[in-house]
Amino acid sequence: MLHITSLDDGLDIFKALGSDVRIEIIKLLIENKEMNMNELAAKLNITNGALTGHIKKLEACGIVNTSNDSSGHGNQKICTLHLDKILIDLDAPEEAQNVYNAELQVGHYCNYEVYPTCGLATASHLIGEVDDTRYFAHPDRYNADILWFSKGFVEYEIPNFIPGSQKITQILISAELSSEAPGINNVWPSDISFYLNDVCIGTWTSPGDFGDVRGIFTPDWWFPNWNQYGLLKMLVINKKGTFIDGLQISDVTIRDFNLDYRSSMKLRMAVNDNAEHVGGLTIFGKSFGNYGQDIKVSINYAPIEE
């Protein structure tokens, strides 16, 4: 997902989408997952030279990826979509421009309760044995860049280093997530619930545990029939409610927590055993998946009123 927070920042994207031909290219790639240049040119009834110009514009702003495929005759470029969503924020900035940013590594949870199938790995190796919950307490778990479990939860302490005499007006959390199927299954729904300080702030249903292609950052040693990539989700709680990718998922607001510079905050991501879809959870860190990031947190703050 690409999050555009100002119209000026989105100019290149808007220009790339301002073409009927480029929109048709995107629609073809949505339908067919990947296509080579010859196939695209034939479908669009344009020359390869004209297609190259369109692809370069889509690639320059991150909408499309290209890679070389020499398995057939000659050296063909393969085109795939890089973005699954584009979110454009047209709202006015939240009460204050003051923001504290932090990143949480996947393995830096402070509490957990997980059930197999489950496991953890660093960028270079598995941590212990898969499906053995004891390894979630192993010292190496602090270096984990991916973890997965079929139900249960992991909980992270959100660092709070905003200045004194300030209140928290918004929390934004982004993370790459997917379901957890035995092996992989692109159609494997899972109801993933989010909690702040033990209060459920909303639930998002992950559509699957994706493994049709290798994740962009997933290391070469990783097993091809295991979790490859997720979807980048943006969770926001502010004075209006709680939102995932701009869509409201609950009426719980930031004011319900009365958070300030002295507050401790714990984020829990859970798959409850009474959920409609108990399909597990995978959390991807910067060395796995498609987005090259850990769990990102942004905290907006403003002065406490007298």
The model's pTM is 0.74
pLDDT tens digits, one per residue of 112-125? 999 999 999 999 99
Reported as a pLDDT band with limits 50, 70 and 90, residue 96 is very low
Q: What is the pLDDT of residue 89?
A: 67
CA gap 196, 220 in Å, rounded: 36
User: What pLDDT, on a 0 to 100 scale, did the predictor assign at position 150?
Assistant: 98
Q: Is 65 left (phi over 0), alpha (psi -120 to 50) or beta?
A: beta
- Bridge-partner residues for 199, per DSSP? 196
Q: Grade residue 94 by pLDDT with cuts at 50, 70 and 90.
A: very low
Question: 13-28, pLDDT tens digit by residue?
Answer: 888 899 999 999 999 9
Residues whose CB is less than 8 angstroms from the CB of residue 100 and which lie 6 or more positions away in sequence, other chains included = 160, 161, 162, 298, 299, 301
Write down the pLDDT at residue 84: 72
The HSE-up count of residue 6 (CA atoms within 13 Å, CB side) is 3
Q: What is the pLDDT of residue 95?
A: 45
List the domain boundaries for the chain.
Answer: 2-84, 91-303
Q: What share of the chain has pLDDT > 90, as a percent? A: 76
Instruction: Determine the CATH number of domain 91-303.
Output: 2.60.120.260
Across the range 55-72, mean pLDDT stands at 81
Confidence grade of residue 72 (pLDDT, cut at 50, 70, 90): low
* Torsion, CA 218, CA 5, CA 18, CA 62, rounded to 10: -20
111 pairs with which residues across the strands?
A: 155
Mean pLDDT confidence for 47-65: 90
Mean pLDDT (whole number) for 215-239: 95
Q: What is the mean pLDDT of residues 248-276?
A: 97
Average pLDDT over residues 124-148: 97
pLDDT band at 194 (very low <50, low <70, confident <90, very high): very high
85 has pLDDT over 90: no
Q: 295 and 104 in contact (C-beta within 8 Å)?
A: yes
pLDDT single digits (tens) 158-182? 999 999 999 999 999 999 999 999 9
Sheet harboring 190-196: ordered strands across?
A: 111-115, 151-158, 265-271, 190-196, 199-206
Same fold, 2-84 and 91-303: no
CATH architecture of the domain formed by 2-84: Orthogonal Bundle (1.10)
